[in-house]
Amino acid sequence: MFCAHHYRYASDRSTFLVEVDEATYQRAGFDTMSEADSLRLCEAVFAPDLQGHPLLSNRSTWRRFPVIWNERFFDGRTVLLGDALRTVHFSIGSGTRRALREHAHLDDALAQFQRERRPPMKKIWDAANVSLRWYEGMGAMMALDPHEFAYRYMTRSGRVDHAEMRRRDPALAQAYERLHPERIG
């Protein structure tokens, strides 16, 4: 099982992350493969999606995604933002934006930043970690009915419930209801 997460950052460039489960990692031999060979293999796997475009490397290495959460967002004049503050799995995404111009004193601004941003950031972080676990088990779900697979994907983080799925994609919700009438409340 290979899964790509990609997002454009320039008109002619996108970040392209490849995620595999442990079994795929071992079977493919990524643990002993050179960076160039790893790139070529990923190009071959995703050839239909890349449509002849090459993957570019930027010291591309395989690693396990770290799960980080800091209870404190700052200490004195040291402030943690973005991925230094907490990780969020690429399937969720979350940027950190904050204007400090509301306060004359940095200490007051930082205290307000932590008070206001911690609850929503924690929700995103929790959802991201649920999503991370979903992707780690995705290989076992490849045999599911396509509607079941899509439904589980869309509801994986818990931020989308069945009512919201009905609103977003009525056809998928109906297909899931036909598969699992006992699960619909």
| Pair 147, 131 in one domain | no
| Domain assignment present for 37 | yes
| Pair 123, 151 in one domain | no
| Pair 95, 125 in one domain | yes
- The SS3 assignment for 173 reads helix
Number of domains in the chain: 3
pTM of the model: 0.55
| Pair 79, 117 in one domain | yes
| Domain assignment present for 164 | yes
Q: Cα 99–11–40 angle (5° rounding)?
A: 115
> Domain containing 177: what range?
143-183
Residues 1-17: tens digit of each pLDDT: 899 988 888 898 888 98
| Domain assignment present for 9 | yes
| Domain assignment present for 57 | no
Question: 74-75 and 78-79: which strand pairing?
Answer: antiparallel
- The SS3 assignment for 180 reads coil
Higher per-residue confidence, 123 vs 101: 123
In this prediction, residue 99 carries a pLDDT of: 42
| Domain assignment present for 69 | no
| Pair 129, 154 in one domain | no
| Pair 96, 119 in one domain | yes
Higher per-residue confidence, 41 vs 184: 41
Residues 64-99: tens digit of each pLDDT: 777 788 888 888 888 887 777 777 666 654 433 454
| Pair 27, 43 in one domain | yes
In this prediction, residue 173 carries a pLDDT of: 95
| Domain assignment present for 123 | yes
Please give the backbone phi and psi of residue 2, each rounded to the nearest 5 degrees, phi first.
-120, 135
| Pair 127, 173 in one domain | no
Q: Where are the alpha helices (DSSP H) in the chain?
A: 22-28, 35-45, 47-50, 106-136, 138-141, 146-154, 162-168, 170-179
| Pair 97, 131 in one domain | yes
